[in-house]
């Protein structure tokens, strides 16, 4: 699939088939995340791959999103540095988001569905996944073969509404 087709066809999938992902496909997806850039190339993040049904169920409860339990895989991406970049932005949030996006786009290219999960109880999920106190789950995402692929993407703002040339302006 062409890169721009991948970007334009990616959807947030919340209904999955009961079908396993082959190790070969899954490793390609994880390697796409591993190849993502990170601040100073420190790669200060870990992926916790959850296939166990009881843990997926508990993560779905801690996220208040019951549909998550039907996904064959939930991946939690954990920032481990706690560092702030020179620009004042939290490095873990940026680095983990880039890695997640690489994995989600790779999953789309492989014919899989996914959905970013930002609504979850941090403390409960950290406990479930044994994430240490000095690390933070930045985001989670579900992964699997879509039962139903949403046909229409929500409308996006026009390009002129989200960008400006040379200096910031808010369009007012």
Q: What are the residues whose beta carbons fall under 8 Å from the beta carbon of 125, sequence distance 6 or more?
A: 59, 62, 63, 76, 131, 137, 140
Residue 42: per-residue pLDDT: 85
pLDDT band at residue 102, thresholds of 50, 70 and 90? Answer: very high
The reported pLDDT for the residue numbered 111 is 95
Q: Is the pLDDT of residue 45 over 70?
A: yes
What's the rounded mean pLDDT across residues 10-33? 94
pLDDT for the residue numbered 172: 53
Secondary structure class of 16 (helix, strand, coil): strand
Question: Tens of pLDDT along 103-117?
Answer: 999 999 999 999 999
Residue 170 has pLDDT above 70, yes or no: yes
Q: How is residue 146 annotated by DSSP?
A: B
Rg, Å, the chain Cα set = 17
> What's the mean pLDDT in 75-94?
94
DSSP of 48-107, one letter per residue?
EEE--HHHHHHHHHHHT-GGGGGSSEEEEEEE----B-TTSSBHHHHHHHHHHHHHHHHH
pTM: 0.91
CA angle 128, 131, 133 (to 5 degrees): 120
CB–CB of 75/50 below 8 Å? Answer: yes
Rounded distance, CA 117 to CA 100, Å?
Answer: 11
């Amino acid at each position: 699939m062409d890169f721009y087709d991948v970007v334009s066809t990616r959807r947030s999938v919340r209904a999955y088939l009961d079908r396993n992902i082959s190790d070969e496909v899954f490793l390609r997806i994880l390697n796409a995340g591993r190849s993502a850039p990170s601040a100073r190339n420190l790669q200060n993040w870990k992926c916790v791959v959850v296939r166990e049904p009881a843990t997926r169920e508990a993560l779905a409860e801690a996220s208040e999103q019951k549909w998550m339990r039907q996904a064959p895989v939930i991946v939690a991406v954990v920032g481990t540095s706690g560092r702030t970049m020179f620009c004042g932005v939290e490095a873990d949030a940026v680095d983990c988001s880039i890695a997640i996006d690489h994995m989600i786009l790779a999953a789309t290219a492989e014919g899989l569905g996914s959905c970013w999960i930002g609504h979850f109880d941090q403390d409960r999920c950290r406990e479930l996944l044994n994430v240490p106190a000095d690390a933070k789950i930045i985001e989670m995402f579900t992964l699997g073969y879509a039962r139903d692929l949403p046909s229409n993407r929500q409308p996006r703002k026009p390009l002129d509404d989200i960008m400006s040339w040379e200096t910031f302006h808010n369009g007012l």
